[in-house]
Homo-oligomer: A and B are copies of this chain.
Amino acid sequence: MDAWRSALVRADATNIWIRGHDIASLMARTTFTGTLFLLHRGRIPTAGEERLLNAILVSGSDSGSAEPSCAASRMAASGNRQSASAAIAAGVLAIGDEHDGAASRCMEAIEAIVGQAAAEYLPLVEAARLYVERERDAGRQVPGLGRRALANDPRIEVLVDLANREELAGDGFAAMRALETAVSRLIEPLPLNIDGAVGALLYDLGFPPAAGNLMFIVSRVAGLTAEVLEEYTRERPMRIRIPVEYDGVPPVEDGGS
């Protein structure tokens, strides 16, 4: 087999370099959040960028055991105590298009809007209007807007304030605001939600759309480790039995089909 190739990590018998940086030096001088940024962006973040990425990661770390990711981890931990990896992985698997996939979809929308604005010398507001019309006519929902679990989600203000203070809100955030305006005019007024804020600011931090999902996974895994450990230590195995009502066909006579 040919060797695989990678531009991420060089490891030999004496040392490890992450995107060119000696791992010992990273351990001494940066943080975990800084290293995550480095892995994706190829450079150490500025203090402001790191602060913003931290706020994003904290915002998704855990919002309660009721969430599909946390509940799936607990379900797996309930039946299988042999491997914490298995329980964490089960929770990761519940994350996807429906469970916090909207940040990635926002980033794709922003990419399309910013791209069209640049290519056709349009103001963002105009490119956003065209985008919303296309989506509306195709019967698709615009991501990142509309009430989610929390009303007046307090996380949004923290993110927006921080991005403004650190002067990190750029095209992504502007495109998201333009989207909000266009949706309000063309469909109905819908407020920016947490996925929209996170997607826009990850875009402004230079991440590609796929990273919307990936950053949420990193973030949520922190919560999953605590959920799994709490399940192990406070609950007995197999304690979870979901109530189910059968609504299928009645018993058939033997041999029937």
Q: Which residues of A contact B (CB under 8 A)?
A: 1, 3-11, 13-33, 35-36, 39-40, 42-44, 53-55, 57-59, 61-69, 71-72, 74-76, 78-90, 92-101, 149-152, 154-155, 157-159, 162, 208, 210-211, 213-215, 217-219, 221-223, 225-230, 232, 234, 237-238, 240-252, 254-255, 257
Contacts and interface: CB of A to CB of B under 8 A. Distances in A.
Assembly stoichiometry (copies): 4
Contact of A32 (B26, B58, B246, B257): B58
Given A11-B64, A89-B92, A215 B225 contact: yes
6 contacts: A10-B248, A14-B151, A67-B79, A78-B94, A81-B96, A82-B101
B255 A39 contact: no
B78 A68 contact: yes
Contact of A92 (B42, B88, B251): B88
B257 A98 contact: no
A26 B230 contact: no
A162 to B, nearest CB: 7
